[in-house]
């Protein structure tokens, strides 16, 4: 698949959710618990789960008493998430480059749901949209891969067999993007999708945020919120606050 917006078609397939099924609710709940404990957000805080997928983090935050809106570009994911809607939880189809006409106390962008675009200007559009949706002094939480470590220790190829489907995965790095080529066959058809995520460092995020009305409060390197180390951390988790 060579579609520029590769995520539009890939995320809408059932195969995306099959391949990444191991992402579980227990993991999401522990991470959200740690974040909420750190942020000390009161119950009934209005939060946005930006690029929420099927809403596993959104559901957890709603269960903790937050008033949650989950937003994602994938209609299939949002349709699945809407099964869990209640008075504290609502889902909408939305491009993250465009702001919702609502205000939030915190915006969460979790599990490497940033850097999908080829145009670096789109990154600024996302940050500006988040800024517009946040109350003054509101929090913006970004959970991204540690791109430096991923590129340095890239697993070039692997095979995963799930539900009788053999996913052949190849990874590469061109200095700007990390690619994951995914090939498989099912029901007599051959499929090929390519995930393409920008190589974004801590400094890249820092510059984006500082130039668009945010200050950096803290950085962490895993879901337990241990300090970030570019050599050893699995994640890059940034806590930012809207200042202007």
Q: E-assigned strands of the chain?
A: 46-50, 67-72, 89-93, 104-109, 134-145, 157-162, 165-173, 177-186, 189-198, 214-220, 235-242
Distances (CA, A) of 189 to 43, 76, 165, 178, 183: 48, 21, 12, 27, 11
Among 13-27, 139-153, 158-172, 190-204, the range scoring the smallest mean pLDDT is 13-27
pLDDT digits (tens, 9 = 90+) for 173-231: 999 999 999 999 999 999 999 999 999 999 999 999 999 999 999 999 999 999 999 99
Q: What is the edge-to-edge ordering of all strands in the sheet holding 157-162?
A: 157-162, 165-173, 177-186, 189-198
Residue 24, pLDDT score: 63
Residue 1, pLDDT score: 38
pLDDT digits (tens, 9 = 90+) for 48-75: 999 999 999 999 999 999 999 999 999 9
Residue 59, pLDDT score: 94
Among 9-23, 56-70, 77-91, the range scoring the smallest mean pLDDT is 9-23
- Rounded to an integer, the average pLDDT of 120-139 is 96
Distance CA 61, CA 200 (A): 27
Query: What are the start and end residues of each CATH 3.40.50.150 domain in the chain?
Result: 6-146+201-242
Superfamily of structural domain 6-146+201-242: Vaccinia Virus protein VP39 (3.40.50.150)
Residue 23, pLDDT score: 67
The model's pTM: 0.93
């Amino acid at each position: 698949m060579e579609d520029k917006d590769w995520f539009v078609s890939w995320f809408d397939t059932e195969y995306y959710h099959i391949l990444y099924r191991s992402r579980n609710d227990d993991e999401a709940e522990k991470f959200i618990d740690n974040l909420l404990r750190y942020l000390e957000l009161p119950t009934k805080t209005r939060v946005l789960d930006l690029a929420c997928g099927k809403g596993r983090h959104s559901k957890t935050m709603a269960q903790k008493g937050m008033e949650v809106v989950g937003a994602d570009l994938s209609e299939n994911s949002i349709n699945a998430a809407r099964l869990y809607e209640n008075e504290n939880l609502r889902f909408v189809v939305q491009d993250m480059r465009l702001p919702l006409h609502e205000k939030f106390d915190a915006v969460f962008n979790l599990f490497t749901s940033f850097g999908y675009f080829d145009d670096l200007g789109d990154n600024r559009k996302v940050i500006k949209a988040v800024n517009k949706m946040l109350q003054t002094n509101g929090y913006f939480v970004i959970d991204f891969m540690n791109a430096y470590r991923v590129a340095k220790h890239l697993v070039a190829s692997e095979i995963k067999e799930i539900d009788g489907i053999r996913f052949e995965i190849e990874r590469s790095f061109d200095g700007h993007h990390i690619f994951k080529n995914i090939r498989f066959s099912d029901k007599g058809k051959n499929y090929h999708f390519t995930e393409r995520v920008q190589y974004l460092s801590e400094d890249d995020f820092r510059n984006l945020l500082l130039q668009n009305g945010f200050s950096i409060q803290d950085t962490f390197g895993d879901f337990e919120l241990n300090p970030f180390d570019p050599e050893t951390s699995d994640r890059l988790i940034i806590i930012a606050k809207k200042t202007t």
